[in-house]
A and B are shown apart, each in its own frame.
Chain A
């Protein structure tokens, strides 16, 4: 039944097509060493703001693209962090936004003129950001441990609801404890720290250097985080996580200190989340409690699951689809493209696909989540291990 459904859904041909392309490219690039591949990819991505349109002149990806990419990049970072908790260690965390918020408020409380915490003109200290950034990792890890301890004995769905509760508690705290956090008005006016000027920027005439710098900074950050996560996974710690994920009791019986490793997972995930948060507050310029609601946690979980749990490329794809596409659909180009479909629509004179889509994009989003899950239950790019597991399980059933 499920196979029939999978085969009949539109995504199957698309998924197949992607697999074919992937395999061929894999073979083609098979000879190039790993590091070089990564560097190539990095260069490709970093160059994005500079690509010029040969036909019309000027850059292809202007500010609005970059601001969307920046948001997608942020979610990729968050996704990689959550991947550690959910994908590697198997701990269902529905309150990831708590860590994200901690990092953001850490920076905002120290850098916003509206902050109740500081009294001196913060712009006099431009290197503050560089000090806070690594501290965010430490603070995040600390909070991860702090929130992880009470939930250690909980499994599965209990863990889910409690972490959800934590996320909400943190948000409500941010909103209501005005004298500590600035309340629902939020903290604003955070000046972006001067990022190191990259020489390339002078070469081309860019409209907004800040966005470009942030974008590049994020790309570098993502690579670093992905690198760390990957190393963790392939290490002893990662193997312990895998054991815990598969069967906690057996792992414990085999001598793995589940407490230590679970806390470690929370700490790492939280550290990455807080890092993302600090970056967010810095490039956004504001930290407002509304931005840290349950929906963020849900989005991150969705990215990880849809992308493929335990798989970094999956997270990237998940973020691009779930965050990038809805934003992209607001663009003029999307409206133009969809406008091509107008003649097919009976109400073409009063409706336009684009307008309708923009208004209904959440309906489409929900349906998309369902469709993707139903046709690809292990995610779009599952880690190889999961695919094997799933195949075995479905054969057995």
Chain B
């Protein structure tokens, strides 16, 4: 039996403190009555959010907002806020962006979700860009009938979960690895003419997943994977790996990871004298990659979902984003996808929201249907979803576009 009884009093004090804080803070939240987003039918009507005059519609963002990966989350948040600012009000009701930090980690996922769900006027959530968070949190949002639109989670399993149907409440504006990997393999064999490839990837869900797709397809197209090695995120010294690569002397070095490691890797690869081709994906094709890799990025091939370059919307977005956030839109990935995710949500709200007795009523399930039925030209490209929640290619347009880094810029390459 515990000897010290100070704990009893301490715990009681702590509990009391929490209670006091909670009780004080709850005042405005309880007054809305009907709209309980965490409810499965609690309050008024079937999953309808009722926004009273003077209150705001809430759209949540779940991302990494503090710590090492902060830049990623900050970008998603900035793009969302910009979109909210630009798209404005709905029927005179303002839209408020509420955010929660999920730390890109499964343990942080549910508390962050609960935090967002505690907002009584929450209608949808953007995020997370981390697949690990999503697979953990999908059931929670599903139960709450809140739609998630992710702008950066690319693991295939997120929309193709094992053992069950895809989550209706989950969609993403970013193309998943299954699409990109296939196209990359085709590009490698047809355009680059590579017969042998060395696959390097980060050991996260993203890198491993993408690498698996590429390797499988490259082999199917007749290529040979001469080596597959991974690196832990944050690794900066690739000397040993580079040596393995140069010894294997492949036609192509393929990288499935994010830009920091890829940049360090390509720098050291070139310094060791490797002159073959380099191909990487959407995690790498950022402004930061060009900055970090410098001259060594020259000649690298990179792919990215959706056609860009000719779109007026994109050009405007680029300028607006940089003005708002203070850094280029593609410094970190997924800014454009986040903007489009918000647009899809916004359009859906506009479509289903009804003004009843001065309140704005939004049926969450109808909203979900509306988002699934999205069909518009966003910043990233055409936005339309399939029944798994994945974004589909616009008819006649390629879903993955390839670029070559030349002279410090990304130059589009022709490839269907």
Contact = CB atoms under 8 A, between A and B. Distances in A.
Interface of A: 18-19, 21-26, 29, 34, 37-38, 41, 44-45, 48, 51, 53, 55-58, 60-68, 71, 113-114, 121, 172, 175-176, 178, 183-186, 188-189, 205, 207-208, 211, 226, 230, 280, 284-288, 290-291, 311-313, 316-317, 320, 327-328, 330-334, 336-337, 358-362, 381, 383-384
A114 B5 contact: no
Given A26-B9, A312-B2, A313-B2, A291 B101 contact: no
Contacts of A360: 66
Interface of B: 1-15, 18-19, 21-27, 29-31, 36, 38-39, 42, 65-67, 70, 100-101, 104-107, 109-112, 114-115, 117-118, 131-132, 135-136, 139, 143, 155, 157, 161-164, 203-205, 207-209, 230, 232
SS class, residues of chain B in contact with chain A: helix
Given A44-B15, A63-B118, A313-B2, 8 more contacts: A25-B8, A60-B19, A60-B22, A184-B203, A184-B205, A186-B106, A284-B106, A337-B21
A286 B6 contact: no
Contacts of B31: 56
Nearest to A333: B25
A64 B164 contact: no
Contact of B114 (A44, A53, A64, A384): A64
A175 B230 CA distance: 10
Contacts of B207: 184
Most chain A C-beta atoms within 10 Å of own C-beta, residue among B100, B106, B139, B230 = B106
Nearest to A327: B111
Contacts, number: 212
Contacts of B24: 333, 336
B131 to A, nearest CB: 7
Given A176-B203, A284-B107, A331-B115, A19 B1 contact: no
A261 B13 CA distance: 38
B164 A60 contact: no
A189 B135 contact: yes
A186 B132 contact: yes
A207 B42 contact: yes
Contact of A332 (B25, B66, B117, B131): B25
B7 A317 contact: yes
Contacts of A188: 135-136, 157, 161
Given A53-B26, A113-B162, A284-B110, A384 B9 contact: no
B23 A53 contact: yes
22 contacts: A21-B10, A25-B8, A41-B8, A48-B15, A61-B18, A61-B22, A67-B110, A114-B162, A121-B163, A178-B208, A184-B204, A184-B208, A188-B136, A188-B157, A207-B36, A285-B136, A312-B2, A313-B10, A331-B25, A333-B25, A359-B70, A383-B4
